[in-house]
Amino acid sequence: MLRTQVAIIGGGPAGLLLSQLLHQQGITSIVLERRPRDYVEARIRAGLLEQQCVDLLVHAGAGERLQREGLVHGGFGIAWQGRTQRIDLQALAGRSVTVYGQTEIQRDLGLERVRSNGDLRYEVNDVALEALTERLARVSFTQDGVRRELACDFIAGCDGFHGVARRSIPAQILRSYERVYPCAWLGVLAEVPPLSDELLYVHHARGFALCSMRSRTRSRYYLQCAPDERVEQWPDERFWDELRARLPATHATRLVTGAAIDKSIVPLRSFVAEPMQYGALYLAGDAAHIVPPTGAKGLNLAAADVRVLHRGLVEFYRSGRRTLLDEYSTRALARVWKATRFSWWFTTLMHRLDDDPFTRRLQHAELAYMAGSAAAARALAENYAGLDFDADL
């Protein structure tokens, strides 16, 4: 039987970040990932990081390329009815955000764990979590056709929404909250220069749009679409024409188009599971919560979970105290629900969710209020740039 202090289920950014932080404190871990390493590192995901997430990655020793290549943004734009309002994050919240693709974070963390001789096991199947309330928990899994068993003190469930970790909590204990939105995001990645130096969020009668980037030469654009649409219905020409139609005229004339190198459709939903711990099992990231991408909180929430869990594990192995571990779910959920509220609010503000003219007039009134009120703009900036890691309660 294998033995480690912490078994980490899931080899995405949350799992690798936790493994690296634990390694820095001399705490052993084994990471089990269902997919091949090449697949995990090639996944196209979001890339807008709060400063606190950047600081945590730097602290973990995986921030050298991030600091060199990341694009620091001191604000972003919101466009509606032909006007554009800039939200000055630095002036209103005292913080900036950094554009750096999650694909790059995955590679940086993976490289750092390999350099540290981390035990990362890919293409692991049939994972089962056992004995969660006993002195030693167990994880059984199949690797290279051989059934193996791993004994551990704790299990970190970082295996995403469809993973085994959350499903291992008894149904009578776990409670889930969900909101499914009647729209999706069609995302296109193209090797073209960004529309502007900062992100632009667009509220339009035809639907939401977002102009983002991954670098100074690679852009990421999004359009609101129906959740049952398919990427085959959106050839490049149709996508660019629709994006131009939703942009303010001054921006549409500057749009540079090109062949899509990635195209995907992601439905929008909010999901929170409570509690985020059961016995030796602690959930982190998408295993416990999903937010619509409008507020760019998914990866940042996962990093915040990891920070709280890491602190609890370090306290336990240093002193034997379980205070922070026992408080993990309460602390993490306090932050999760605040981010869920913000993502819900920003999503309902910016998207056309129905054909009700009353709703649209309310959206326009809210946008106008935000443009004319320093207090409203500050609330948006504070939530967008990220609430304090230490304000978990």
For 269, other C-beta atoms within 10 Å of its C-beta total 16
Q: Which of 297, 310, 328, 351 is catalytic?
A: 297
Asked whether 311 and 392 are in contact (CB, 8 A), the reply is no
What gap in Å lies between CA 297 and CA 336, rounded to an integer? 9
> 155 — phi, psi (to 5°)?
-125, 130
Q: Which of 203, 293, 310, 351 is catalytic?
A: 293
Identify which of 269, 265, 313 has the alpha carbon closest to the alpha carbon of residue 294: 269
Q: Which of 201, 221, 278, 282 is catalytic?
A: 201
Asked whether 242 and 227 are in contact (CB, 8 A), the reply is no
**Residue 170 is among the residues annotated as catalytic for this protein:** no
**Residue 204 is among the residues annotated as catalytic for this protein:** no
**Residue 293 is among the residues annotated as catalytic for this protein:** yes
Cα 232 to Cα 186, 236, 238, distances in angstroms: 11, 10, 11
Beta bridge partners of 283: 157
**Residue 338 is among the residues annotated as catalytic for this protein:** no
- The DSSP output letter for 214 is S
**Residue 384 is among the residues annotated as catalytic for this protein:** yes
Residue-wise DSSP of 244-266: HHHS-HHHHTT-----EEEEEEE
Q: Which residues of 331-359 are buried (b: 16+ CB within 10 A; e: fewer)?
A: bbbebbebbbebbbbbbbbbbbbeeeeee
What is the dihedral sign for C-alpha 226, 264, 283, 122? positive
Helices (H), the chain: 13-24, 37-42, 51-59, 64-69, 89-93, 102-115, 164-167, 236-246, 249-252, 298-319, 323-326, 328-350, 357-372, 374-385
- H/E stretch holding 184 reads strand 175-190
User: Which residues are catalytic, by number?
Assistant: 73, 201, 293, 297, 384
